[in-house]
Structure 1
């Protein structure tokens, strides 16, 4: 009679229809009693469930978060380097500032320099083009604030 009940419980267990009490009964049968030969294949599975139920996690869980890089100090350091460069550059200047007497040559040199600066500036401006998307997102947040104000007025009254 017990064997028939166990077989019915196993069938329910395989279909996912057992209750917790029925599963406990199956575990008890397969761990404590002698098992019928045709049900021996279930014994290691239920023994594993009993053993794994008693396991405990003993390692410490780290709760400390990683420190984030502070970009404010990076900007302060960059300003300090620029200031030192300007200071030491001003000390080492001489009276010959590279003055060009011929206006046409001077114009050509200035044009070359401005073209080089323009190319560098355009390259840098292209790399920060994604900031426009950020400003679009910020403007939609403004709309959300207006909606929130309107709903708060409606629900307060």
Structure 2
């Protein structure tokens, strides 16, 4: 009779329909030594529940010592300082862009000339400057050619 009652209680337990008193009865049965052979598989489950019910929770309260307080304070300060620095940098970039954009609006000089003679003279100046820079580059290439010739003489390739 008792075995049938325990089996019914196990069915109700797994369906989630047991009361606390019925669960206590199951815990008591499975903690005893005379558990039926075919119900041995449930013994660890209810054994664990009886152990878990006996455990007490004792929360640990961490007290701030004088040594820990400055470290935490420094961590918070570093976080706030990094946020403040980011804001200052963004504001600086925004201000720079704002004022330079305003200046660029006023400067719409595209380098055009109304007088063809002036345009011709300015073009000649620009081409002369370009020619001077190209000539400097060519002189450098001549040094490299001399180096190459000397290397070929030494190594006789």
- Do they superpose with TM above 0.5? no
Q: Rg bigger for which structure?
A: 2
TM-score after normalising by structure 1:
0.42
TM-score after normalising by structure 2:
0.42
